[in-house]
Amino acid sequence: MKITFVTLLSLTLCLNLFADPSFDQSLKVRLPDGTGTVIGKIVVVEPNTDEGFQVAVKVAAYRGIPYAQAPVGDLRWRAPVKLTRLPQEPFSALAFGPECPQQLNTGQRKARSAEQGTGVESGDFPARASEDCLSLNVWTPAMTDAERLPVMVWIHGGGFVRGTAAHPQMDGTRLAARGVVVVSMNYRLGPLGFFHHAAFSDEPDPKVNFGLLDQIAALRWVKANIGGFGGDTHRVTIFGSSAGGASVLCLMLAPQIRGESLFHRAIVQSGGGIGERFSAYGDWAVNPRSAQALAQRFYASLDKSVLCANPTGQAKYEGLTIAQVESRDGIATALRHGISFDQLIGFFGAKWDERNRVIKAEYRNYPFLDGQVVAHRNAVAGFQRGDQVDVPLMIGYSSDEASLLYGLGQTPSRTWIERLLADRGLMPEFSYNSLRRLYGELDDVELVSTVYRDLVFGFPAQILAGLHQTGKKSSAWFYRFGYASPCSQSSTPDRAGHSAEVAYLFGTMPRPPSGNSDGSTRGFGSDLVLSRQLATYWVNLAANGDPNEAYHWPPGSGVSGASTVWPKYEETRRNVFLIDNGGVQGGIRFHSEDGLNDARVSLLDRIRENH
């Protein structure tokens, strides 16, 4: 299987494709699974010594490649079905596929309102949303299929209710230019991704967790096809942040894919591990019967006199009401062919609870315990049993994870934290007042934010690192990301928000067009250096199974040995690798710190015992 070059010029000029960068350059790959041919576009990453690129690196980008049949009509609320042929031959993979249906958040609604000039928040779904959304993207620096480069498969976050692989922050060009093949995928979200109605119970398909099944289908596509893009099918890393990190944990524990060797390293960024009822990450200890109960509530709330509005392409449902479809063909058919985007809105969402001052999910849209894809009530429970796949693991969190809550409109308080402690089974031993003694001199706002960070993200990640390090042959590396860009006037050193490392990892942090107010680009150089070092650890792990083992890839990718050794996690040391400013605005620090003397160890140990 060979990658062939195609241009609008003659074949003779095609042989000299790289002689003149002004040529309209594109690449064509015939997929090894026989489904067809895809055409991508060459992107050039210019040299930048701060970023580590000594010479220009060419990256071929393929966007919007379908990896499964469109989950519409009869395939709605079913496991993804293997694609037999691409929609067109050859398939033009030059544009991202549509986003999966999802609610816009407040910021997105305001932005759309500004674009439309309406002055009001309007529109509930992204303009390019479609249920036909199961597509993925590939960025590769390989110019032949013989290179066998490490592969990194990105899973986007968004609380399992929103997000897209097309987000500019997650563009894979710069990361791929470091000598890896980068893949990202869309997967079904909200009620379309996590739903189970009793009407589906007699069907042989899996009944729930369709979003996770989509991720598995994408990984199977990667195993079958990534060799055609110069990727090594024996060096596949899955990595993700937020709900993407939680997805990585699900995949590490999924019984359905045990033994398939779909991935060989795992990176969990702010993925939690225990879950709690007050944020976007719920405990997985909910069985399909609970999912059924929610789905029945949803269906019962619908106005059945509404005409079918789901564009399934089947004329026999046009002009019929939902009630008529249900009466003629049953509830399952009515759900699949009669429910429109607008009717799904309420089932997507979270609603503001004025009394408790929190956003409360009326309907649950997270992974459900089903015994096939999700077999444990949470990741810690699964790791305690040793059921996770034995691969090198990198896991960590951000220094200011509570930024997630404020972004969702939640304002955690003392009462809120006490409910969280009770939910963890930590009361009355660890009361709010005892936490004051453990955490030292913090005001109420800082204490609540720090406790939330530790209970939901930090301690679970540390517990999982310890369980993996002691229970498996593969090693674990544990980190806390706290770098704050000096380019931001409002930033505080060592305070990084939820998923803040993503932009640095992909090299997509904002590039000031004209520098600072004094005309300089002061501070941005630190961002570039931090981005290079961070990507070095991640790419080294993907290539060699160790963030410290240098990966060299020509030409001039700049990826080399890490500047500071990142020790493996050890339970006796409780060591964490700090990536932050070192307390200095504009500084960069990579530093390993032991946690044995941390008074909070008693709290961490009790959390581990309780889960």
Which tokens go with 141?
A: 């620096």
Q: Which has the closest alpha carbon to 221: 27, 5, 38, 4?
A: 38
Query: Would you list the domain boundaries of the chain?
Result: 31-52+65-111+129-196+211-290+351-510+525-552+561-610
Which residue do the tokens 């894809």 mark? 373
For domain 31-52+65-111+129-196+211-290+351-510+525-552+561-610, the CATH architecture is 3-Layer(aba) Sandwich (3.40)
Which pLDDT score, from 0 to 100, does residue 80 have? 96
Phi-psi region of 499 (alpha: psi -120 to 50; beta: other; left: phi over 0): left
Position 531 pLDDT exceeds 50: yes
* C-alpha dist (Å) from residue 460 to 275, 277, 337, 384, 590: 9, 15, 41, 12, 22
Q: Which of residues 105 and 144 earns the better pLDDT score?
A: 144
Per-residue model confidence as pLDDT tens digits over 386-430: 999 999 999 999 999 988 877 666 777 888 888 888 877 888 888
Range 472-492 average pLDDT: 91
Range 266-295 average pLDDT: 63
- Tell how strand 393-398 and strand 476-481 pair up: parallel
Q: Which has the closest alpha carbon to 294: 200, 358, 346, 362?
A: 362
Torsion, Cα 477 153 131 69, to 10 degrees, reads -130
Q: Which of residues 475 and 344 earns the better pLDDT score?
A: 475
Question: For the whole model, what pTM was predicted?
Answer: 0.89
Give 346's pLDDT tier (boundaries 50, 70, 90): low
Position 555 pLDDT exceeds 80: no
Identity of the amino acid at 35: T
Position 543 pLDDT exceeds 90: yes
Range 219-234 average pLDDT: 97
Range 63-85 average pLDDT: 94
Per-residue model confidence as pLDDT tens digits over 296-327: 888 888 889 988 876 566 788 888 999 999 99
Which pLDDT score, from 0 to 100, does residue 289 have? 65
Range 234-249 average pLDDT: 96
Q: What is the rounded average pLDDT for all residues in the chain? A: 83
253 with 388: CB under 8 angstroms?
yes
Which pLDDT score, from 0 to 100, does residue 359 have? 45
Which tokens go with 196?
A: 């189970």
